[in-house]
């Protein structure tokens, strides 16, 4: 996924939320491109099974230095204390790219405005991203120094946000706010990092994964997970500030952000019965 300006084509990449869905698809595709990919999720066994399945499917294509291209790195992104040293403890010395895909989705059903649920969703989707950045920044900085003397490409932080943060969707008080917070955090981080690192925030519409398999409302322009990963990887090469797909849903929702808030309020009341976007 990196541009050819780099002198070393093999990158070290960390993908959180790589035990399923978008994160897993991205991690496997990157490993197949020859990169060394650390994959995270909360359950060791699930990650080990993914590594084993990947190696047995792709055989020698999937090995680097007689080990797998995929390396299991179990962690819970909400565990502040454990996250600080998670990469050091795994022996990671430097990183080229991090992909922050760990996430969860729960919907509000009024009148139950559940503070515990709102905290839980924000712990994973927002503070989980913050924790992963705290863990990874020292390693990304090492790469940034090497990039200054052109021996490496600049490090890249990619966060998987959501179009739900564009507008206040019904039932998305927890999920949408967590995604708005993480996008803002990453945008702010980009400003502070200056030209040392690139930061891309990805805004998917609906992607078919275990997360959306639970949804009981219509999901317009649903994208297959494999296609979603291909789109992200293809676009990420140019290191844009944002990646949003599918284009038609993005256009529709972006146009709605331009409407006077009063008009949107009328539309959103009609959306309420059909549920919120993930
Ligand atoms: N699917 C969509 O339509 C859609 C749309 C917009 C944005 N997104 C975003 O895309 C990202 C990936 O979602 P997905 O659809 O691929 O969902 P998914 O298949 O449910 O994957 C979620 C991943 O997050 C990991 N995870 C959850 N809580 C975690 C925690 N506390 N610590 C570490 N890992 C944790 C899960 O691993 P374990 O459970 O094994 O820990 C899993 O690997 C999420 O951030 C989601 O909000 C998805």
Q: Whose CA is nearest to atom 42 of ligand 1?
A: 17
Domain ranges, ordered by start, for the chain: 12-274
């022996």: which residue's tokens? 91
Pocket lining: 132 vs ligand 1, CB cutoff 6 Å: no
> How many angstroms is it from 79 CA to the middle of ligand 1?
16
Reading the block at residue 227, the tokens are 């296609």
Give percent of the chain with pLDDT exceeding 70.
Answer: 91
Is pLDDT larger for residue 204 or for residue 272?
A: 204
Highest average pLDDT, of 1-15, 121-135, 143-157, comes from 121-135
CATH 3.30.230.10 fits 12-274, yes or no: no
Q: In sequence order, what DSSP letters do the residues of 35-101 get, joined into one string?
A: -EEEE--S-HHHHHHHHHHHHHHHGGGGEETTEESEEE----TT-HHHHHTHHHHTT----SEEEE-
Q: Which of these ranges, 7-21, 49-63, 141-155, has the smallest mean pLDDT?
A: 49-63
Pocket lining: 206 vs ligand 1, CB cutoff 6 Å: yes
Q: What average pLDDT does range 178-190 have in this prediction? A: 98
> How many angstroms is it from 73 CA to the middle of ligand 1?
16
Non-local CB neighbours of 128 within 8 Å, separated by 6+ positions: 16, 77, 78, 100, 102, 103
Q: Whose CA is nearest to atom 9 of ligand 1?
A: 160
Pocket lining: 177 vs ligand 1, CB cutoff 6 Å: no
Query: Which pLDDT score is estimated for 267?
Result: 76
Separation CA 193–CA 204 (nearest Å):
24
Return mean pLDDT, the chain. 91
Confidence label for 6 from pLDDT (cuts 50, 70 and 90): very low
């Amino acid at each position: 996924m990196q541009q050819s300006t780099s002198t070393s084509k093999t990158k070290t990449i960390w993908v959180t939320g790589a035990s399923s869905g978008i994160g897993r698809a991205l991690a496997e595709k990157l490993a197949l491109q020859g990169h060394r990919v650390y994959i995270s999720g909360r359950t060791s066994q699930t990650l080990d099974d993914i590594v084993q399945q990947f190696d047995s499917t792709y055989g020698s294509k999937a090995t680097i230095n007689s080990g797998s291209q995929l390396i299991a790195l179990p962690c819970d992104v909400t565990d502040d204390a454990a996250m600080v040293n998670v990469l050091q403890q795994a022996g990671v010395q430097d990183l080229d790219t991090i992909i922050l895909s760990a996430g969860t989705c729960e919907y509000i059903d009024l009148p139950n405005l559940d503070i515990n649920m709102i905290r839980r969703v924000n712990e994973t989707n927002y503070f989980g991203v913050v924790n992963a950045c705290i863990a990874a920044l020292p390693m990304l900085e090492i790469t940034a120094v090497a990039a200054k003397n052109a021996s490496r490409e600049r490090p890249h932080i990619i966060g998987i946000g959501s179009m739900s943060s564009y507008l206040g969707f019904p039932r998305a008080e927890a999920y949408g706010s967590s995604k708005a917070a993480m996008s803002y955090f990453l945008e702010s981080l980009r400003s502070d990092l200056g030209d040392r690192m690139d930061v891309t925030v990805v805004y998917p519409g609906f992607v078919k994964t275990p997360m959306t398999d639970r949804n009981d409302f219509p999901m317009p322009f649903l994208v297959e997970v494999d296609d979603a990963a291909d789109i992200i990887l293809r676009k990420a090469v140019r290191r844009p500030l944002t990646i949003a797909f599918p284009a038609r849903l993005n256009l529709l929702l972006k146009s709605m952000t331009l409407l006077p808030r009063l008009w949107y309020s009328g539309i959103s009341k009609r959306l309420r019965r059909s549920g919120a976007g993930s």
